[in-house]
Structure 1
């Protein structure tokens, strides 16, 4: 009898919790490719992201940081690395059009130590197809979003605008220069 009771208890504990319906007004935080936003897959250490700068695109970095710390986006403190801290993220430049870089303007590169946020001078330098501050700012804001733990969004392209769309042409076409209201809602889901 005790075995039957303990078996029944195990079965009850194994049942998934009931699913709760999402309010109709909630914006989906759906990601492409089955990924999900994640505090654990970010450059953030606790609630702080300390950065170091090895990029020539200071304006883009400043814009991205300002965009992701504006308004209600205060839960993650994004600040420069100091003498007594280690950098969680380093802004770097590359100039590469080989392989994956052929059409890549920027990239967040997570590592076991310091993560890198690459800006591709081959596309973003003056005189290049996307060589102005507006394009650089968009790319930097998008990549910093990845460093904050956000995946490429699948918001029914056009229906729910996002700086985290994978297709830069859509971000440019909607003139998105930082987190949209949908991105702000997605930010608060993992960060509070």
Structure 2
């Protein structure tokens, strides 16, 4: 059955519809595509009983703190982040390297899942002041992205609006520098 509105009724209906907030991409029960393959996974995360206890050995404390704030703000409360204590093994270590060759060519940072303590390694060659991505905005975006991997998120297709895009330069050009509505939806799908 079709409903046809005319005159004042159509105008009122259009006003109401246009005043509603845009719902964003429809995510439903289907996760955004991972590229090149895979899926978001609690099993491939640094989370231990709802907590990531971290050890800090990076010069990029501002970026780390920003990333934690991004993944704990806006209703994201299922996973807690805190510094580790002397009586426990850290779930995640933040550290640095300074390399532009081999596995680090054009790599700004990397999350690595390891037996015991996982790591996020920030690459000072590119991220230090004076490096090709040596700005606060780049460091924060990269740290937020890598902490997303520590939460179990894969690289997302650029068809979604996500800080988890594999291409940091494309994310920068698109203005994605924080956790987005799509990222929050993925978080709630994975962590509740």
- Shared fold per TM-score greater than 0.5: yes
Where do 1:66-105 residues align within 5 Å? 66-105=69-108
Change in Cα spacing, 1:98 to 1:145, as seen in structure 2 (3 Å) is: same
Residue pair 2:32, 2:160 contacting (<8 A) in 1 also: no
Q: Which runs of 4+ in 1 moved over 3 A?
A: none
Where do 1:48-127 residues align within 5 Å? 48-127=51-130
Taking the aligned partners of 2:74 and 2:27, their CA distance within structure 1 comes to 20
- C-alpha deviation, 1:178, in angstroms: 1.7
Q: Unaligned regions of 5+ residues in structure 2, if any? A: 1-24
TM-score by length of 2: 0.83
Taking the aligned partners of 1:26 and 1:32, their CA distance within structure 2 comes to 17
1:26-46 alpha-carbon deviations (Å, 9 max, x no partner): 264211122100000001102
Taking the aligned partners of 2:166 and 2:37, their CA distance within structure 1 comes to 14
Taking the aligned partners of 1:68 and 1:127, their CA distance within structure 2 comes to 28
The size of the alignment, in residue pairs, is 166
Taking the aligned partners of 1:33 and 1:125, their CA distance within structure 2 comes to 29
Taking the aligned partners of 1:83 and 1:99, their CA distance within structure 2 comes to 35
- Name the counterpart of 2:14: none
TM-score by length of 1: 0.83
Residue pair 1:106, 1:119 contacting (<8 A) in 2 also: yes
- C-alpha deviation, 1:85, in angstroms: 2.4
Residue pair 1:68, 1:178 contacting (<8 A) in 2 also: no
Where do 1:148-167 residues align within 5 Å? 148-154=151-157, 157=158, 159-167=159-167
Q: Unaligned regions of 5+ residues in structure 1, if any? A: 1-23
- Name the counterpart of 1:6: none
